[in-house]
Amino acid sequence: MIFSKTKTKNYDILIMGENMIHYIYKSSYLDVWICEDHSYKTTHKSLNKVLDELCILRLSTLEGMQTSIKNLFDFHSKIPLYLGDSLFLFPLKGLRGKESLYINYFSIKEIIPITKKICYIQFIDYHELKCDIFHILNKQIEKCEKILAYVNNQF
């Protein structure tokens, strides 16, 4: 994905190119890594800021998106962010934690279980990510499917 920057109402906004975001990871060093088709981008922006900018591109804010989804689906934590037909981010590790991880539901090709706790997430470009919280992944996939059912029935 090619990112370019533009100024809109004092926001430094990420404009997405042709590639798909697979996941966004905040390291314990507070760097934010964006994994997209065959490449990584890093930014010194906070994860909150990156997610907020992605929401603003879709005419909402991070807080507004989270509030809407909480109210519609009665979710209390780890709120997925439906941002359109190619970007549906769900957290495996919380937003405020030392490390955070948001996966794009639409970029998952396959989930390969290894043990009860460990699996590999294979993305559509065959990139793989090892996940040691398989039970949380399953719960988050269920939340995403509930939101998708709602979206598909609305439009």
Give 50-88 pLDDT, tens digit per residue: 999 999 999 999 999 999 999 999 999 999 999 999 999
Cα torsion for 95, 101, 104, 105, to the nearest 10°? -90
Count Cα atoms within 13 angstroms, Cβ side, for 17: 10
What pLDDT was estimated at residue 55?
96
What pLDDT was estimated at residue 51?
96
Q: What is the mean pLDDT of the chain?
A: 87
Q: Looking at per-residue confidence, does 22 or 4 come out higher?
A: 22
> Which of these ranges, 10-19, 75-84, 116-125, has the smallest mean pLDDT?
10-19
What pLDDT was estimated at residue 120?
96
CB neighbours of residue 19 within 10 Å = 15
For residues 124 and 30, give the distance between their C-alpha atoms in angstroms, rounded to a whole number: 27
What pLDDT was estimated at residue 16?
47
Position 46 confidence tier, pLDDT thresholds 50, 70, 90:
very high
What pLDDT was estimated at residue 135?
93
For residues 71 and 61, give the distance between their C-alpha atoms in angstroms, rounded to a whole number: 15
